[in-house]
Chain A
Amino acid sequence: MKTRTPRLPSVATRHAPWLATVVAGSAGILFTTFALGQTADRMHNATKAPSIQCDECHTCKEPTREASCLRTCPRNSVQKTAEEFSARRGPSLVILDELQDLYLPVPFDHRGHADMAQMTGGCSVCHHYTPEGLEHPECKKCHETASLHEDIRKPGLKGAYHRQCMGCHREWSGETSCGACHQPKAGAAKKGSVAVLPTKDDLMGRMHPPIPEPEVEVYQTKWEGSTIAPPLTGGGAGRSRVFFRHKAHIRDYDLRCSDCHREDNCKRCHEEGKEHTQRVRTLEEHHKPCFDCHRTSPCDSCHIEEGKPSPPSFDHARTGWPLKRYHSKKSCRACHQTVPYGRPETSCISCHSNWTPANFDHALTGQRLDDNHVRLECDGCHVDRAFERPPRCDQCHEPEEGVSFPAKRPGQAFPSTEK
């Protein structure tokens, strides 16, 4: 973002000399403007190349700090909240005391919300405008505190706060009474009355307990075998267990929290209107997150008889595509782009479309090409670029008994290292 400061001297020279005094007088103003420009540059991440165009945020050609002419919030196209922010990095408790008038400050359980947000949509659910690489700006940096806010397109601070909360809480709990979050000031109607603030310890007591992220979740179930599988315990003495490797799903299988928890909200755990009770989930609700991806089941593929070892974790070789040196380093999503992970296209060029004879080491396939063949284009031998089918010599050479692949090879063969 350019600042407008370099323009002024040229205006001064073009016009009358008397302007020089004005220019000299405005040196201080210039300096201030420059300083403000620096702040603006910080907002615009001047250390890196700008990742967005000016007109994505601003409606006018030359926005200034005073007249920024920003577009309507939230500017979805420029949401740059970096997902590197982790839920636990933020504060546990935020006391919203910017606008207290009729009510006492609101203790906001940031950690509880951040935990939930990380599972469902990330920090940007609330922090909808954080330029890349920066800390989240305070709400009041953009949202004006005055009730008559100049920019009618942008909610004032009060509106911004409340919309963040009410947008979800209205639907989840149907709770819209002010008392749900606010404590009225004693005798609030009388000006100058002093209300006693609850202590920080009191407020911490209102916080949501941390939402645990289990390593392995073992569900002790009520299921005792069915007609699908032979009864597991012969007489129903024991119940089956389900081992759910929660951490492995995130760490090894590269799933994002929102892939499974996308529909989650407070209702997942709490009865409506009873915020301190744990809700009992139905059989369908219990199974749905698993069934979304794991569609093959007899029950005992997950339900393990008590006393028996837990099933082994996932091995990609079972799918018929063992992962070797290179592919095992890839994240699941590099090949499986959508969740649930399905069977992707297995031809080499579905991913490696940019390989040419110059940048591809043919030896990796277990066949180092001789000097004659290494010069050829890929489709010189692999007709129609069907790399999964070995080429035949007689496609180019005179047919000869027993000289085609694999009996005869154009170079040196050795065991393949990679698929």
Chain B
Amino acid sequence: MALDRRGFIKSLTVVGMGGAVLNHRRANGDGGETGGDPADAFGVLVDIPNCIGCRKCEFACQKTAGFTVPPIETFDDKSVFATDRRPQPHAYTTVNRYPNPTTPAKPVYVKANCLHCLEPACVSACLVGALRKTESGAVVYDAWKCMGCRYCMVACPFQIPTYEYDNALTPQVRKCDFCAESRSKNGGVPACVKICPNDALIFGRRGELLKLAHERIRDHSEMYVDHVYGEHEAGGTSWLYLSSFPFESLGFVQLASVAPSRLTEMIQHGVFKHWMPPLALYGLLAIVMWLSRRTEEAEHGGCVTEPEFVDEGVPV
């Protein structure tokens, strides 16, 4: 990147000013960054009861992302399920095993990866716009813009973004990008969906998937709990989950239906509304001045008047 530090800061300032304008519009309810209808954006419906824990999604994901992948047979290793695994910098998705309380022989497998929120907290937290929600539904990352603050990692309610701590010079934030790059080139479905042998992952438009999810719950009430995880959680996510057991028992966090970024942005944008910061700053300064003057008066004011008093008093 042929851009020196000074140039970068300059462009940052310009972009920042533009961004401030955009953000201001957004805070006023002018629509999100994606613009499009979230029902038209792509998503994936994860039918948890159909997941057999084969871990082929892990294989396909690593292969498509261009990482060094061990032979496919190594993914048959079930011993990894002994511990709960989070996504790693070079493994954007991991499958975890949970006990099945009704049929112990059939454990429950849950795939963890970025849920591609409709209003992503990571995007909101990113200072430099390195993370972005695209119209197709993916939350994508631009390593060039990233400054490595890792605010996205803190902001994500699902604790998905990871960081290449072992890379001293060019570390990146790593997370599932919904195969955005490979799909934009070749079309088709994300690698994990493509390889899933049991059709536990269904790729489609979010609106259609939601309809399908509710149909399944209605038609097979004995099989599913009446809850589509991701329909409302954190303001809605592109990845949706159907389960036979309560989601809390499968490691899913319970979240409000309002995106976390709504609250933080409301406070932040509210603070900057109506010339608030300069007014507050100058008001604060005025108060400080007033106070210091008063104190000064209390200290030296006495001195100022005292001499008069003293002057008057000395003759007395």
Contacts and interface: CB of A to CB of B under 8 A. Distances in A.
Given A177-B76, A184-B72, A162 B199 contact: yes
A179 B199 contact: no
A147 B199 contact: no
Interface string B204-240: 1000110010011001000000000000000000000
B197 A188 contact: no
A147 B194 CA distance: 5
Interface string B36-76: 00000000010000101110100000010000010111001
B199 A148 contact: no
B113 to A, nearest CB: 18
Contacts of B76: 177-179
Given A153-B212, A178-B76, A171 B52 contact: no
Contact of B52 (A72, A155, A176): A176
Contacts of A174: 105-106
A194 interface: no
Given A152-B212, A178-B54, A159 B188 contact: no
Given A148-B203, A152-B209, A178-B56, A189 B72 contact: yes
Interface in B264-309: none
B208 A171 contact: no
Given A147-B189, A163-B50, A188-B72, A152 B197 contact: no
B197 A177 contact: no
Contacts of B45: 152
A166 interface: yes
Nearest to B191: A147
Contacts of A153: 212, 215
Contacts, number: 69
Contact of A159 (B56, B78, B197): B197
Given A159-B199, A171-B105, A189-B72, A148 B215 contact: no
B255 interface: no
B219 A72 contact: yes
A110 B216 CA distance: 30
A123 B45 CA distance: 31
Report, as a range, how many residues of chain B touch the other chain. Answer: 20 to 34
A368 interface: no
A416 B126 CA distance: 97
Contact of B53 (A176, A179, A189): A176
B203 A162 contact: no
A132 B60 CA distance: 41
Given A72-B215, A147-B193, A152-B204, A162 B198 contact: yes
Interface string A29-66: 00000000000000000000000000000000000000
A87 to B, nearest CB: 26
Interface in B102-118: 103, 105-106
A57 to B, nearest CB: 15
Contacts of A170: 52, 105-106
Contacts of B72: 102, 178, 184, 188-189
B128 interface: no
Contacts of B199: 155-156, 158-160, 162-163
Interface of B: 45, 50, 52-54, 56, 63, 69, 71-73, 76, 78, 103, 105-106, 187-189, 193-194, 196-199, 202-204, 208-209, 212, 215-216, 219
